[in-house]
Amino acid sequence: MENYVPVQPNLINAYKDFPVFIIHPDTGELVRFLPRSGTYSDTAIRRLLEQGIRVFVTLLNEREHREKFEQSLLLSLAGPFDQQKAAIVRDFTLMLVHETLTRQELAHNPQGDVSDILLKLQELAEYYVALVDLDSGEDILRLMHRVMSKDLTTATHSVNVMILTLRYLEKERKEGRSEWLQCVTPSEDRSTTVTAERYALRQWALAALLHDIGKVMVPDQILKARRRLSSLEYRTMKMHVEHGWKIINRAVPQFSSQRVIVRGILDHHERMDGSGYPLQLADVSLPGQIIGMLDCYEALTTDKRPYRSAASPPEALRVLKEDTMNAKFSPDVYMNLVRLVADL
């Protein structure tokens, strides 16, 4: 399996020109999965997702596809940004994040040389921050959120939280609030051509992308369970916070010196009443408060949860309002989220 890399089933048609393989659900063997009439049908993709069947391409084909896709991306983004171009950016984003968050090196050898893998996500964060700087940046991010997939994969969830985080901070910036800016760790390596705000936005975007990276070390049978977890399984799931910190600390030391990234990973499940995890903190950092609430909102509105259907945006806000009234979340962060959702 070292010569194969996993791909997201809902992006399988992006690889239809290459040999695609699946783990046969009965034999456990790696077998070719051929499309009918040149493409994989929505029914076939839905079956893969529902049955949790893993999809792979060869490492060589994945690299070839990514290079072609990057070239196509650059060509297609010339001119006005529209829904078709948003879908291209979405597919490229999900492909890159999924590839990164499923790399076996992260799970089995976090001490190894995986910094290049994670630095790819830094490049992606910089791309999205550059979108914010455009005159139409807010409209582009809104469009990206609308075309983004809604499924249970860690990659899709992480990208959605990143987009929500950038839109949240852009509203903060326009309204003159700078508390989010003040919690960014200054860096001697920051180029003088990069403004403090853009540098800070990049750190926040990266924190949102990496907040669940520790899930790469959670067993698939727990991560993809289509049922409520047992108490033991839930304890294992909660370990993703500490796993995430260890991966970052060992693999990319420059990330582990950034307060927003560190606190976004460690604090996004902490709650201000001390009921969160892993440390039951009551003094939750601002990155933990903001990314934590956006993480909850995105999870509540995601389709096909094993134990409940997706909530509508107003329903999700009602759940979070109750949690806020019970002192789990900051009222200010909640009200900012309400304004954000009203503009989605």
Note whether 160 and 298 are within 8 A (CB): yes
pLDDT tens-place string over residues 21-62: 998 888 888 999 998 888 888 888 888 888 888 899 998 888
CATH of 77-342, one of 1.10.510.10, 2.40.50.140, 1.10.3210.10, 3.40.50.300: 1.10.3210.10
Q: How far is CA 2 from the centre of its chain?
A: 25
Q: How far apart are CA 271 and CA 289, in angstroms?
A: 8
- Tokens coding 138: 């807010």
The answer to whether the beta carbons of residues 158 and 195 sit under 8 Å apart is no
Quote the tokens at residue 8.
Answer: 């997201």
Q: Which of 2-6, 49-53, 132-136, 261-265 is modeled with the greatest confidence?
A: 261-265
Pairwise CA distance, residues 210 & 155, whole Å: 10
Name the band, by pLDDT with cuts 50, 70 and 90, for residue 135.
Answer: low
62 neighbors 5 (Cβ within 8 angstroms): yes
Residues 6+ apart with CB under 8 A from 163: 128, 141, 144, 145, 148
Residue 1 pLDDT? 67
Given a contact cutoff of 8 angstroms between Cβ atoms, the answer to whether 201 and 166 are in contact is: yes
The percent helix, strand, coil of the chain (3-state, each to 5) is: 60, 5, 35
- Contacts of 22 by beta carbon, 8 Å cutoff, 6+ apart: 30, 31, 33, 48, 53, 54, 55, 56
Q: What is the pLDDT of residue 263?
A: 96
46: amino acid identity, one letter = R
Low-confidence winner among 75-89, 248-262, 304-318 (lowest mean pLDDT): 75-89
**Per-domain boundaries in the chain:** 1-59, 77-342
Residue 144 CA to residue 134 CA, distance in Å, equals 14
> Average pLDDT of 268-293?
97
pLDDT digits (tens, 9 = 90+) for 75-98: 666 677 888 888 888 888 887 787
Lowest average pLDDT, out of 28-42, 131-145, 186-200, 246-260, goes to 186-200
What tokens appear for 246 in the block?
Answer: 């260890």
Of the candidate ranges 61-75, 184-198, 251-265, 290-304, the one whose mean pLDDT is the lowest: 184-198
Q: What is the residue-wise DSSP string for 16-52?
A: TTS--EEE-TTT--EEE-PPBTTB--HHHHHHHHHHT
- Better-scored residue on pLDDT, 242 or 254: 242
Mean pLDDT of 206-219: 92
pLDDT at position 193 over 80? no
Q: How confident is the model at residue 159 (pLDDT cuts 50, 70, 90)?
A: very high
The pair of three-digit structure tokens given for residue 32, joined into one six-digit string: 């070719």
